[in-house]
């Protein structure tokens, strides 16, 4: 199996506020049950609950009856029992937080929606077009998607061989925002995730090399101890190389003769 497509199964211990958007309600209950086997997780369940709450709505059922469960399940919640840090068992109703408005978009969830979903969200919130969005929302969107726009008369937007046709052929989803007789087209395409280079640091003197270097590691060149260009030693100076053109002294030509200063002082005292 391709290593890039092979993903390690998520557990409660490895869950983050980004990867939590990859799982569903039933996964939460499964992970919680498996956490019973990990002492470290069992002692920090409230921390993991906070991570889950960043992507899921959690309601604790005070009354665990068929009627109450049915009420929540009708609203799309999944209901199940979980054990807390102190060993007590509670009943949770869990539902994935919906992404329906641009204000629901975050840096954590933006890479967990499709371009079609983004276009749907933008369509539900648009009025003035792309420029009507706040800069902070634009930054979030552009962290996960390539965005480009064009505004043309309605009868020219779909011109054969034009930008619209080329973008769609290149895999972009598009939203059209009507502006009178003109139309703004907003094109969106998921950005490929850039792989972060791994850094490899040189060992300290005396530290053993374990020989487990990774071919993909990036070797960072150590320039710290290299002399600056201005510090390069060019050898001992040669008197033959000194000429009247390159010779200079540190003499202050404007300084007064000390004997002259003494004579002036003596004259002042006599007066």
Would you write out the chain's pLDDT as a tens digit for each of its 271 residues? Answer: 344 433 467 888 899 999 999 999 999 999 998 888 788 888 888 899 999 999 999 999 999 999 999 999 999 999 999 988 888 899 999 999 999 999 999 999 999 999 999 999 999 887 778 999 999 999 999 999 999 999 999 999 999 999 999 999 999 999 999 988 999 999 999 999 775 555 444 444 444 444 444 444 444 444 444 444 444 444 444 545 444 444 444 444 444 555 555 455 445 445 4
How many Cα atoms are found within 13 Å in the side-chain-facing hemisphere of 220? 9
Query: What is the distance between the alpha carbons of residues 255 and 271, in angstroms, rounded to a whole number?
Result: 25
- Cα(80)–Cα(69) distance, integer angstroms: 9
**Residue 230 β-bridge partners:** none
End-to-end Cα separation, the chain, in angstroms? 106
pLDDT at 218: 41
CB within 8 Å of 220: residues ≥ 6 apart: 199, 200, 201
CA distances from 91 to 33, 49, 72, 147 (A): 13, 14, 12, 43
**Residue 157 per-residue DSSP state:** T
Q: Are 189 and 173 in contact (CB under 8 A)?
A: yes
Phi, psi of 7 (to 5 degrees): -115, 135
User: Which of 208-240 are b and which e, b meaning 16 or more Cβ less than 10 Å from the residue's Cβ?
Assistant: eeeeeeeeeeeeeeeeeeeeeeeeeeeeeeeee
Q: Where are the alpha helices (DSSP H) in the chain?
A: 25-34, 39-42, 45-53, 66-74, 115-125, 135-142, 163-169, 258-270
pLDDT at 44: 86
pLDDT tens digits, 174-196: 999 998 899 999 999 999 977 55
Specify the 3-state DSSP secondary structure of 194: coil
Task: State pLDDT tens for residues 29-72.
Answer: 999 988 887 888 888 888 999 999 999 999 999 999 999 999 99
Q: pLDDT at position 201, please? A: 45
**Apex CA 236: angle with CA 230 and CA 241, to 5°?**
95
Confidence (pTM): 0.66
Q: How many CB atoms lie within 10 A of CB 45?
A: 17
């Amino acid at each position: 199996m391709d290593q890039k497509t092979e993903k390690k199964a998520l557990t409660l211990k490895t869950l983050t506020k980004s990867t939590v958007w990859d799982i569903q309600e039933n996964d939460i209950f499964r992970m919680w049950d498996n956490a019973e086997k990990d002492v470290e997780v069992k002692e920090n369940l409230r921390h993991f609950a906070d991570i889950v709450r960043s992507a899921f709505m959690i309601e604790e059922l005070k009354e665990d009856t068929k009627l109450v469960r049915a009420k929540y399940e009708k609203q799309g919640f999944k209901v199940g029992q979980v054990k807390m840090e102190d060993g007590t068992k509670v009943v949770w109703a869990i539902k994935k937080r919906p992404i329906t408005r641009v204000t629901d978009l975050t840096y954590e969830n933006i890479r967990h929606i499709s371009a079609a979903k983004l276009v749907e969200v933008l369509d539900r919130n648009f009025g003035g077009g792309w420029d009507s969005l706040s800069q902070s929302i634009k930054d979030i969107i552009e962290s996960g998607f390539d965005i480009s726009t064009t505004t043309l008369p309605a009868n020219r937007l779909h011109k054969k061989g034009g930008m619209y046709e080329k973008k769609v052929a290149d895999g972009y989803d598009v939203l059209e925002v009507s502006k009178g007789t003109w139309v703004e087209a907003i094109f969106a395409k998921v950005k490929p995730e850039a792989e972060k280079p791994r850094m490899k640091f040189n060992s300290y003197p005396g530290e053993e090399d374990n020989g487990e270097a990774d071919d993909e590691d990036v070797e960072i060149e150590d320039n710290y101890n290299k002399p600056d260009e201005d510090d390069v030693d060019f050898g001992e100076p040669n008197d033959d190389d000194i000429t009247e053109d390159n010779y200079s002294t540190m003499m202050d030509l404007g300084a007064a003769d000390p004997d002259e200063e003494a004579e002036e002082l003596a004259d002042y005292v006599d007066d």
